[in-house]
Amino acid sequence: MKPFDYSRLDSPDALSPLGAGKFLAGGTNLIDLMKHEIETPDALVDVTRAGMKEISQQPDGSIRIGSQITNTDLAANSDVRQNYPVLSEALLWGATQQLRNKATTGGNFLQRTRCQYFYDTARACNKRDPGSGCDAMKGLNRFHAILGASSSCIAVHPSDMAVAMAALDAEVLTRKVDGVERRIPASELHRLPGDAPERDHVLENGELIMAVDLPASPPRLQSYRKIRDRSSYAFAVVSAAVALDLDDGRMSNVRIALGGVAHKPWRASRAETALEGQMPSREMFLKAMKEEMSEAQGHGHNDFKIDLLPRVVAGVLRDLTAPERNGDRT
Kindly give the confidence (pLDDT) of every residue in the chain, 330 residues in length, as a single tens digit, with 9 standing for 90 and above. Answer: 789 999 999 988 888 766 567 999 999 999 999 999 999 999 999 999 999 999 999 999 999 999 999 999 999 999 999 999 999 999 999 988 899 999 999 999 999 999 999 999 999 999 999 999 999 999 999 999 999 999 999 999 999 999 999 999 999 999 998 899 999 999 999 999 999 999 999 999 999 999 999 999 999 999 999 999 988 889 999 999 999 999 999 999 999 999 999 999 999 999 999 999 999 999 999 999 999 999 999 999 999 999 999 999 999 999 999 986 676 543
Cα separation, 178 vs 49, whole angstroms: 21
- pLDDT on residue 19: 56
Which residues lie below 8 Å from residue 122, measured CB to CB, with a gap of 6+? none
**Topology of the domain comprising 221-322:** Enolase-like; domain 1 (3.30.390)
| 209-227 burial code (b ≥16 CB/10 A, e <16) | bbbbbbbeebbebbbbbbb
User: Torsion-angle region of residue 322: left (phi > 0), alpha (psi -120 to 50) or beta?
Assistant: beta
Domain parsing of the chain, residue ranges: 51-214, 221-322
Q: How confident is the model over 77-93, as pLDDT tens digits?
A: 999 999 999 999 999 99
Topology, domain 51-214: 3.30.465
Residue closest to 226 by CA, chosen among 164, 270, 286, 281: 164
Query: Which helix (H) or strand (E) is 64 found in, with range?
Result: strand 63-66
Q: What is the pTM of this model?
A: 0.95
- Which pLDDT belongs to residue 18? 60
- Residue 74: enclosing H or E segment and its boundaries? helix 71-76
